[in-house]
Amino acid sequence: MPDKAVVENVELILSHPDELQARWIGSPLIRDQLVAAWLVINPDDLPLNPRLIGKPGIGKTTLAYAVAREMGKDVYIFQCTMDTRPEDLIVTPVVASNGRIAYHASPLTTAMIRGGVCILDEANRMSEKAWASLAPLLDYRRYVESIIAGIKIHAHPDFRVCCTMNEDASTYEVPEYIQSRLQPTIEVPFPDKNQEKNILKFNVPFAPEQLLQLTVAFLQRAHRADMPYTPRDGIHILRYALKMSQLREGPPEAYLEEGIEGVLGIEGLDFFHGRASAPPPAEGPNTSDAGPDDDYDIEDGNHPRWT
C-alpha cells in the first residue's frame, strides 16, 4: 500500500491505519443502525455521517472500529481535543531533513484518499473553528480544503466517517450547522447482563467466574440506577482486584471492594453497599427484547453482507 499520494500536484505523506484487537458485543439493532447509516443503496445515494453518543467507556469507539473492520475497511482514528486545529484535521506541514516542507495527511484525509473509515473520536471536544473546516466534507460536497497545501481533497466514494461523543465538562457545544450534518444519532446503551459478562470475559479472559459474576451483578445494578459506571470501569475493577489478589495471595473476590473503591471512589463503594441515594427506576435503560442468543458479536460472522 503506497504511503504517499499526489493531490493537485502536491505530494502528501499518508497516515497509517489503526490496528486494534477490538471486538464489539451488544445489541444487533445498534450495529445495524451504524451499518445502515454507512450503506449506499443507489448511485445517487450518499452515506450518512453518524454520531455515536453514550457514556464514557460504554463502547462507542469499539463499536465504530469493529463495524468498520467487519466491512473490510481500514480504520483511521483521529483523537479530537480542544486544541485540534483545522490543519491538524487535514494537512500539516513538516520540515523534512532536506529542509523542504513535507505535507502530512491527517488520519481523516488519509481515510478520504484511500476510501477507508475515519472515526473522529470524542469529536465534541473540538472548537467551532476546527469543525468549520469539515463542513463541506460532511455534506454532498465531500471534500476538504487544505489552506496550508493550497489544495482541495475529494473523498473517495468508499470513504465513511463517524463521530463519537460523550458529555463531560471538557466539551464544546457542537455548532448547529455541524450537528445537522452529523446524522443519524446512534445512542449506545448499557449492555444487558449477558452482554456485559461477555465484554468483561473478552477483555479479561483470565478472570475467574465468581469474580466476573459479582462484577457484572454490581454493574447491572448500577445501570438500573442510571449510575455512570460502564464496562470500561468493570474491566479496570477486575484487573485491579486480580492484581491485588496476586500480590497479597488472597481469593480475587476478597479484593472486589478494593477494586471498586480504587476505580469508582468512595461513591462507587457506597453504591456497592447499597448506601447510594439513587433508587433504581421501574424499567432499566437496557430492557431490550433481544434475548441472550440474539446478542450481536462481530466474531460470529452470522450477519448479512452489504454491497
Ligand X SMILES: Nc1ncnc2c1ncn2[C@@H]1O[C@H](COP(=O)(O)OP(=O)(O)OP(=O)(O)O)[C@@H](O)[C@H]1O
Q: What is the dihedral of CA 189, 194, 195, 196, to 10 degrees?
A: 80
The entry of Mg ion, ligand X, none near residue 231 (CB within 5 to 8 angstroms by kind) is ligand X
Residue 61 sits in the site that holds Mg ion (CB under 5 A)? yes
Q: Which of 235, 241, 256, 298 binds ligand X (CB under 6 A)?
A: 235
**Helix locations, the chain, DSSP H:** 28-38, 60-70, 86-89, 107-114, 128-132, 176-179, 193-203, 209-224, 231-248, 256-272
The entry of Mg ion, ligand X, none near residue 64 (CB within 5 to 8 angstroms by kind) is none
Q: Which of 189, 231, 252, 268 binds ligand X (CB under 6 A)?
A: 231
DSSP letters for 95-155: E-TTS-EEEEEPHHHHHHHHT-EEEEETGGGS-HHHHHTTTTTTSTT-EEEETTTTEEEEP
How many residues are listed for the chain in this entry? 307
The torsion angles phi and psi of 224, rounded to 5 degrees, stand at -60, -30
CB of 231 to ligand X, least distance (A): 4
CB neighbour list of residue 44: distance below 8 Å, 6 or more residues apart: none
CB of 264 to ligand X, least distance (A): 15
Residue 25 sits in the site that holds ligand X (CB under 6 A)? yes
CB of 174 to ligand X, least distance (A): 15
State the first-to-last Cα distance of the chain, in angstroms, to the nearest integer: 23
CB of 253 to Mg ion, least distance (A): 30
Q: Which position has the grid cell 448499557?
A: 190
Residue 110 sits in the site that holds Mg ion (CB under 5 A)? no
Question: Which range binds Mg ion by CB under 5 A, 7-15, 52-60, 243-251, 292-300?
Answer: 52-60
DSSP one-letter code for 55 = S
Site string for ligand X, 189-228 (x = CB under 6 A): --x-------x---x-------------------------
The entry of Mg ion, ligand X, none near residue 146 (CB within 5 to 8 angstroms by kind) is none
Choose between 144 and 196: whose C-beta lies nearer to ligand X: 196
Q: Which of 27, 33, 49, 61 binds ligand X (CB under 6 A)?
A: 61
Binding-residue total with ligand X (CB under 6 A)? 21
How many angstroms separate the CA atoms of 299 and 307, rounded?
20
Note the residues at the interface with Mg ion (CB under 5 A): 60-61, 164
Note the residues at the interface with ligand X (CB under 6 A): 23-26, 54, 56-62, 122, 164, 166, 191, 199, 203, 231-232, 235
